[in-house]
């Protein structure tokens, strides 16, 4: 017997108590619940007399294991999208469910708690704390989660090893190359075991060799099942990831959906 679609938005699964998503965003990937769902999302900015609609009518479902590049020309809304997906800002209109939680109307404190638990961030400029060592930087998200010092240290050392910095644990950011600093940032983004990793122009400041190393780490993380969203203007990323979303004037102009492992 095939599963039938829910008949209304509020029909609750008796066995699990889970409220299914509305039919418009029902999984194209049978059996998977989206980790991110945007429904009718708009973001408006008031600039003097002008209302800038930076995002309008965004409906999007992102599934566990998606490896997404979000592409588009300058001004199309990529940063606005990242801020909303990253719970750094909220939609003006519409809803955002992150791992089943409606985060569209949370207070700043609640939002930052959700960020700390569910999301990992990687920025173009690494955003490491200069006074802290490699291992201490990786521990920062764990500190906010109240993880014990001993456990944090174990997790951080393991992650440092994983990104090839096991011999640099006590170095400070100024003693590292750009590529190494970005690897610290990746390890930091993994330490709270986030549901989604968001990267904003992660290779933008790197030479091409270091950039390739970072992308290989992303490939490896996705191969392990991590969900990654890469905001980029690098067109070659569309080949690398398994789903491409193109924004144009604040709307989704193209969404390839998940391409199953492209010819390798």
Ligand X SMILES: Nc1ncnc2c1ncn2[C@@H]1O[C@H](COP(=O)(O)OP(=O)(O)O)[C@@H](O)[C@H]1O
Q: Which residue, 48 or 146, is less far from ligand X as judged by CB?
A: 48
Closest approach of Cβ 40 to Mg ion, in Å? 23
Q: What span, in angstroms and rounded, lies between the C-alpha atoms of 178 and 159?
A: 18
Nearest-CA neighbor of 90 among 78, 102, 100? 102
Q: What is the size of the binding site for Mg ion (CB under 5 A)? A: 2
Does the protein bind ligand X through residue 69 (CB under 6 A)? no
3-state secondary structure of 151: helix
Does the protein bind Mg ion through residue 83 (CB under 5 A)? no
264 binds, among Mg ion, ligand X, none (CB under 5 to 8 A by kind): none
Closest approach of Cβ 72 to Mg ion, in Å? 9
* Residue partners of 207: CB distance under 8 A and separation at least 6: 178, 179
Closest approach of Cβ 44 to ligand X, in Å? 9
Out of 35, 36, 41, 54, the residue judged to bind ligand X by CB under 6 A = 54
Contact 91, 42 (CB under 8 A): yes
Q: Which residue, 47 or 263, is less far from ligand X as judged by CB?
A: 47
For residue 119 the two structure tokens come to 């999301």
In angstroms, the first-to-last Cα distance of the chain is: 36
Does the protein bind ligand X through residue 80 (CB under 6 A)? yes
15 binds, among ligand X, Mg ion, none (CB under 5 to 8 A by kind): none
Q: Which residue, 80 or 133, is less far from ligand X as judged by CB?
A: 80
Nearest-CA neighbor of 204 among 232, 245, 236? 232
Q: Which residue, 80 or 152, is less far from ligand X as judged by CB?
A: 80
Out of 23, 40, 75, 257, the residue judged to bind ligand X by CB under 6 A = 75
Closest approach of Cβ 125 to ligand X, in Å? 15
Does the protein bind Mg ion through residue 79 (CB under 5 A)? yes
Q: What span, in angstroms and rounded, lies between the C-alpha atoms of 148 and 137?
A: 15
What are the Cα distances from residue 177, in Å, to 151, 158, 233, 249? 28, 20, 23, 36
Q: Which residue has the tokens 């606005």?
A: 80
Does the protein bind ligand X through residue 86 (CB under 6 A)? no
76 binds, among Mg ion, ligand X, none (CB under 5 to 8 A by kind): ligand X
Q: Which residue, 187 or 229, is less far from ligand X as judged by CB?
A: 229
β-sheet with 228-231: strand ranges across: 119-123, 196-200, 228-231, 67-71, 243-248, 251-255
Output the CA angle 58-200-151, nearest 5 degrees: 110
In the window 9-48, what residues touch ligand X (CB under 6 A)?
Answer: 45, 47
The contact set with ligand X (CB under 6 A) reads 45, 47, 52, 54, 72, 74-80
């Amino acid at each position: 017997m095939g599963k039938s679609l829910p008949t209304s938005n509020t029909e609750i699964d008796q066995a699990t108590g889970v409220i299914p998503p509305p039919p418009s965003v029902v999984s194209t990937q049978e059996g998977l619940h989206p980790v991110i769902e945007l429904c009718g999302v708009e973001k408006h900015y008031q600039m003097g007399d002008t209302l800038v609609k930076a995002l309008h009518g965004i409906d999007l479902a992102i599934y566990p294991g998606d490896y997404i590049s979000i592409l588009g020309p300058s001004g199309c809304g990529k940063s606005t999208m990242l801020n909303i997906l990253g719970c750094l800002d909220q939609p003006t209109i519409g809803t955002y469910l992150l791992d089943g939680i409606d985060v569209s109307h949370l207070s700043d404190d609640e939002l930052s708690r959700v960020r700390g638990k569910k999301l990992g961030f990687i920025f173009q400029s690494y955003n490491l704390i200069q006074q802290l060592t490699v291992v201490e930087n990786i521990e920062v998200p764990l500190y906010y989660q109240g993880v014990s010092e001993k456990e944090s240290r174990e997790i951080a050392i393991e992650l440092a090893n994983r990104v090839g910095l096991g011999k640099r644990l006590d170095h400070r950011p100024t003693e590292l190359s750009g590529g190494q600093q970005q690897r610290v940032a990746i390890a930091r983004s993994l330490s709270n075991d986030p549901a989604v990793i968001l990267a904003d122009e992660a290779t933008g400041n790197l030479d091409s060799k270091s950039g390739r190393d970072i992308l290989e780490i992303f490939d490896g993380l996705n191969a392990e099942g991590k969900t990654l969203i890469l905001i980029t203007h690098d067109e070659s990323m569309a080949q690398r990831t398994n789903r491409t979303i193109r924004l144009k004037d604040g709307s989704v102009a193209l969404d390839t959906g998940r391409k199953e492992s492209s010819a390798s």
